[in-house]
Amino acid sequence: MTIDVATAWIYHITDVSNLPHILAAGGLRSDAALKTAGVQPTVIGNNIIKQRRLQELTVPCCGGRFVGEFVPFYFCPRSPMLFTINRGNTGRTSGCQKDIVHLVSSMKIAIELRRDWAFSSGNAGARLTDFFADVADLAELDWGIIRSNDWAGESRRDKKAAEFLVADFVPWEAIQSIGCYDAEIAQQVNKLLKDSTQPPAIKVEQEWYY
């Protein structure tokens, strides 16, 4: 399958409460950069896996840097990770997905940042994942599963969770839109961005949620 990087959207999920520190920093920082800066964001993921990404798992095609040194994006909304979070499996309250927003960019924009970047064949927090830094290798991903809402089973779940990684920092200007659970969260995001110049489009995208 031929993938057009200009229209290959990528999605970073975060708690809406993290938007103020993201805006203050001028963009998204990797977990490693947040740790160095002493910033303690609202965590939505599994802390054990986050530590593994920071201290154990590396990206061979980017000089062996740790996965946690990259800002992660998924290739789809409504990711398996969001399902896991919403079930309360990462320590948050079950049903918490309404507080999570999707920050949307594209592969083309991310690549043009001229930072190290890579993508994984599955969950970048797993130990048996392949990494690539050549757009020609996008064919290695299972786009049928990535673009489907049917990902039951461990193998399909892992393929659905493929990630696009950008080293260290993604400027706010790279974010093209923000997908929200409902109008209440969209209004909250609008208030947070009221002083922004050229803010991204803010949309209610309930089909991106469970």
Distance CA 30, CA 23 (A): 14
Asked if the model's pLDDT at residue 1 lies above 80, the reply is no
Tell me how far the alpha carbon of residue 61 is from its chain's centroid.
Answer: 19
pLDDT (tens digit, 9 = 90+) per residue, 50-80? 999 999 999 999 999 999 999 999 999 999 9
Among residues 20, 12, 19, which one has the least CA distance to residue 176? 12
**pLDDT attached to residue 197:** 84
Asked if the model's pLDDT at residue 150 lies above 80, the reply is yes
Length in residues, the chain: 210
Angle, CA 128 vertex, CA 57 and CA 155 arms, to 5° = 135
Indicate whether 187 belongs to any domain.
yes
The residue type of 89 is N
- Which of 16-20, 51-55, 120-124, 195-199 is predicted least confidently? 195-199
**pLDDT attached to residue 196:** 87
Number of domains the chain contains: 1
Cα dihedral 28, 31, 37, 40 sign: positive
Mean pLDDT of the chain: 96
Indicate whether 2 belongs to any domain.
no
* Paired tokens of 2: 């031929």
Q: How many CB atoms lie within 10 A of CB 161?
A: 25
pLDDT (tens digit, 9 = 90+) per residue, 78-99? 999 999 999 999 999 999 999 9
Indicate whether 31 belongs to any domain.
yes
Indicate whether 4 belongs to any domain.
no
Indicate whether 3 belongs to any domain.
no
Indicate whether 169 belongs to any domain.
yes
Indicate whether 156 belongs to any domain.
yes
What is the band of 198 on the pLDDT scale with cuts at 50, 70, 90? confident
pLDDT (tens digit, 9 = 90+) per residue, 108-134? 999 999 999 999 999 999 988 999 999
- What does the pLDDT average to over 38-59? 96
Q: State which residues form the domain around 174.
A: 9-208
Among residues 179, 24, 165, 39, which one has the least CA distance to residue 101? 179
pTM beyond 0.85: the answer is: yes
